[in-house]
């Protein structure tokens, strides 16, 4: 990897306007402008930030009941406020990246309106370059537990790293969603993609998420931006009863981790903030001396790995 200068990144640990597409877009555009004003070259939003994670699946006991009318109404609201790739909202986000000259990785609920997959929601991670181009589109491979009520299975086409800026020395950036970090072969696919920066998006980046994120950084010899969501308990759907009493039902936990597994920014909980940090990418070269899981340490004479990528519908 070439000798690189410091790279400035930002994590938007700021709650969206829950289930409100127009207001969440306005807020996202404001955050992009704030990140650019602080010199960030990449801004990251957590898992399904747009328009919010369906945490009601976990904390509202009636949400998982079959053919439950209140849950269907909540799902319909989520679907109406989800992003359509190539739609007006994603175009506005792309334009903002181009205007402010920074890259972005955005977790979203993605709605498919026509063609194969029509009617399905996906848990997606969209990557925009500083030129305002959608340069990677990853759909969560395996929704976890009750998430399968809401989202369909993704495919392997987004298991790739990309450059967000012009030039051969721009660092390669990739990402995985939540429990994909426990899938060894998904990790290996991304390690082979040559990430310098890895984005790990979570609902709350709790202790298990911190463990997975730190392990990923140390294994992959890359920086990890662990992005957690903020969601107010007051935003839980009124149609679905719950017993949560804390102010926050999603608590953030965003952190930035170095290639040796140490924290550049410690996990931050229970407050909204635009987290900004400078990364010394030369650290990747230093730490690769200790471990290189896709190089000679992989023992390709003993093990072979392949990733079958399927195009999205």
Computed on alpha carbons and rounded to an integer, the radius of gyration of the chain in Å comes to: 19
pLDDT-derived band at 3 (thresholds 50, 70, 90) equals very low
Phi, psi angle pair for 23, to nearest 5°: -70, -35
Mean pLDDT, residues 72-90: 96
pLDDT-derived band at 158 (thresholds 50, 70, 90) equals very high
pLDDT value of residue 168: 65
Query: C-alpha distances in angstroms, 268 versus 11, 53, 81, 153, 263?
Result: 11, 19, 28, 31, 12
E strands in 117-164: 121-128, 134-139, 162-163
**Active site residue ranges:** 47, 140, 178
pLDDT-derived band at 169 (thresholds 50, 70, 90) equals confident
Cβ 309 vs Cβ 152: under 8 Å: no
Residue boundaries of the structural domains of the chain = 6-298
Mean pLDDT, residues 276-286: 96
- pLDDT digit string, tens, across residues 23-68: 999 999 999 999 999 999 999 999 999 999 999 999 999 998 888 9
- pLDDT digit string, tens, across residues 176-216: 999 999 999 999 999 999 999 999 999 999 999 999 999 99
Angle in degrees, 0-180, between the axes of helices 21-37 and 88-100, rounded to the nearest 10? 10
The yes-or-no verdict on residue 307 having pLDDT over 90 is no
Mean pLDDT, residues 15-30: 98
pLDDT value of residue 248: 97
More confident call, 300 vs 24 = 24
pLDDT-derived band at 309 (thresholds 50, 70, 90) equals low
Which architecture, in CATH terms, is 6-298? Answer: 4-Layer Sandwich (3.60)
Mean pLDDT, residues 147-175: 91
Mean pLDDT, residues 86-91: 97
Cβ 225 vs Cβ 209: under 8 Å: no
The yes-or-no verdict on residue 4 having pLDDT over 70 is no
pTM of the entire structure?
0.94
pLDDT-derived band at 312 (thresholds 50, 70, 90) equals very low
């Amino acid at each position: 990897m070439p000798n690189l200068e410091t790279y400035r990144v930002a994590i938007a640990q700021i709650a969206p306007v829950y289930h409100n597409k127009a207001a969440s877009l306005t807020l996202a555009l404001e955050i992009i402008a704030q990140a650019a004003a602080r010199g960030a070259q990449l801004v990251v939003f957590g898992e399904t930030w747009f328009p919010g994670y369906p945490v009601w699946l976990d904390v509202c006991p009636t949400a998982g009941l079959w053919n439950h009318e209140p849950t269907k109404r909540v799902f319909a609201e989520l679907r109406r406020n989800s992003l359509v790739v190539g739609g007006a909202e994603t175009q506005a986000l792309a334009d903002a990246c181009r205007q402010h000259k920074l890259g972005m990785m955005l977790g979203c609920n993605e709605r498919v309106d026509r063609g194969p997959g029509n009617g399905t929601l996906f848990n997606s991670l969209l990557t925009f370059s500083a030129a305002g181009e959608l340069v990677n589109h990853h759909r969560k491979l395996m929704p976890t537990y009750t998430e399968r009520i809401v989202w369909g299975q993704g495919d392997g086409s987004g298991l790739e790293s990309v450059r967000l800026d012009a030039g051969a020395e721009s660092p390669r950036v990739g990402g995985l969603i939540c429990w994909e970090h426990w899938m060894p072969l998904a990790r290996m696919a991304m390690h082979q993609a040559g990430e310098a920066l890895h984005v790990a998006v979570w609902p709350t980046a709790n202790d298990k998420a911190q463990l997975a994120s730190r392990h990923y950084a140390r294994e992959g010899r890359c920086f990890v931006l662990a992005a957690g969501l903020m969601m107010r308990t007051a935003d839980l759907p009124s149609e679905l009863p719950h017993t949560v009493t804390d102010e926050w039902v999603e608590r953030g936990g965003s952190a930035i981790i170095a290639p040796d597994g140490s924290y550049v920014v410690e996990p931050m909980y229970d407050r909204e903030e635009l987290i900004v940090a400078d990364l010394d990418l030369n650290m990747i070269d230093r730490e690769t001396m200790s471990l290189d899981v896709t190089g000679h340490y992989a023992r390709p004479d003993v093990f072979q790995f392949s990733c079958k990528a399927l195009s999205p519908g």
